[in-house]
Amino acid sequence: MSNKLLNRQANHYEVLIIGGGAAGLSLALNLPAHMTVAVITKGRETEGSTYYAQGGISAVLREDDSFKSHIEDTLNAGGGLCDEKTAKFTVENAPDAISWLSDLGVPFTTDKHKDGKKTWHLTREGGHSHRRVIHAADATGKALETTLVNHARLSDNIELLEHHIAVDLITGKKLGLDHNRCIGAYVLDKDNMQVETFQARYVVLASGGASKVYLYTSNPDGSTGDGIAMAWRAGCRVANMEFMQFHPTCLYHPKAKSFLLTEALRGEGGHLLLPDGSRFMHKFDKRSELAPRDIVARAIDHEMKRLGVDCLYLDISHKSAAFIRSHFPTIYARCRKFGIDLTREPVPVVPAAHYTCGGVMTNLHGQTDIENLYAIGETAFTGLHGANRMASNSLLECLVFARAAAQHITQNANTDHKWNTIKAWDESRVTNSDEEVVVSHNWDELRRFMWDYVGIVRTDKRLQRARRRVDLLLLEIEEYYGNFRVNADLLELRNLAVVADLIIRSAQQRKESRGLHYTLDYLQTNEKAENTILTPE
């Protein structure tokens, strides 16, 4: 570690990054070596959603593909709500982002040709009109995250702080100053259970999405919407929180914890089957299994409810065993662990909450409504995904906007920055809780009513029920937060309740069915497409 980092004032950094996935680490690695950077993660460095991403990263990498086609596919999947300028910006910067990753050493899967030349193997996923998804077998996220972490560890200016969870952002407004810049964050060190004050010239929210708000999710436990909730409390607008994407195919097994079965399985010819072995997707969309995720998830949900069954099936056993093992080694091994042979039989599947399409509103540089506060990756709302994210555009968004934010921070760095005097976290009027059961009970109740009332198919009555329950929970949680010492479970519950409130409020405002928001009370899609924007009071 460099002397510059060792000699800096305690917990003072030029850039504080909250979240250590593809977005956060990519930004850190794109900042100049003279800037001191802290990356905080709630658990181990590889516990975020990036690590578990299977499919890949979409980018135009072949001559028979085009930026125009990738943009059109993205806009079509987004149900008329994508920002075309954002889509163009993202797509056109994709090849450079892939080249950067390749230079770092991400082991993308290649094809070897007869002349001995190797080219990247590209697969096709739902919503894409071409093969443009570059991947590392079926564990792209693991390869990506591992590579980024290794480079960050070797960087003298980057400090990786595991087992740290942000409590709240520190802004000028909160301190009574004459500006509302973001100047840091209160952070709980989970190892010693102390809340520390972190100051930074720039703060970046890269903490991922909020799918843990639902009972069943493909995401790891840390996907609790922390960045979205903190930004909202600090005064940032959020947009399109009603568009929560449910991945159509997660492994259905009591011990699998909703293990995701990549879109590429269907992209390579996998069939969705009813319990009697018949296919059904052609009844819902002409693209059958290659329809966008919202359509596939609703079709599976519809058939499960119609038949009263716990799951449906995904079958790729008509492909050769060698093909399946070579293209999907991780999935094959995991299924075998549960007694399922992917090469011989269908796999039981169910939909599960997967991706947050809305988030903290930003521009193309990742800037939020608050000066010196950025949001990137799944935490942010850039306008790229609209009403439904197209497969493999998520990791791409992380990379493109991380690089854009890093460039903007570098170009606009304030050289005469003055550190503020911030009071330490005050625990003088709180006690240790003797009722931890309240946290676990509220956590369970929240995720269950969100699944039942604000899931794949919604109604006004269901949303009203959810509204009443979340209002009560918010009061209970805030009272608990004000009286007891904080811990990670309480902080995550507090953030999840805020996110649930934002999702419900957004869903109640949208009087139509569009993309991921499907309501039986408004089956039509309005002629005019508008974003749902919520502004803090």
Active-site residue numbers? 293
The token duo for 134 is 């570059």
- What DSSP string runs through 386-413? TTSPPTTHHHHHHHHHHHHHHHHHHHT-
Cβ atoms of residues 37 and 161 within 8 Å: no
Among 403, 370, 368, 372, smallest CA distance to 382 is for 368
Q: Among residues 89, 86, 82, which one has the least CA distance to residue 389?
A: 82
In 3D space, the residue among 186, 234, 510, 502 whose CA is nearest the CA of residue 368 turns out to be 234
Question: If you ran DSSP here, which 8-state letter would residue 166 be given?
Answer: E
Q: Are strands 312-315 and 347-356 parallel, antiparallel or unpaired?
A: antiparallel
Kindly write down the DSSP assignment for every residue of 44-70, as one continuous string: STT-SHHHH--S-EE---STT--HHHH
User: Cα separations (Å) of 271 from 43, 146, 222, 430, 460?
Assistant: 37, 32, 32, 56, 34
Q: Can you tell me the distance from the alpha carbon of 234 to that of 370, in angstroms, rounded to the nearest whole number?
A: 8
| Collapsed DSSP state (helix, strand, coil) of residue 357 | coil
DSSP 146: H
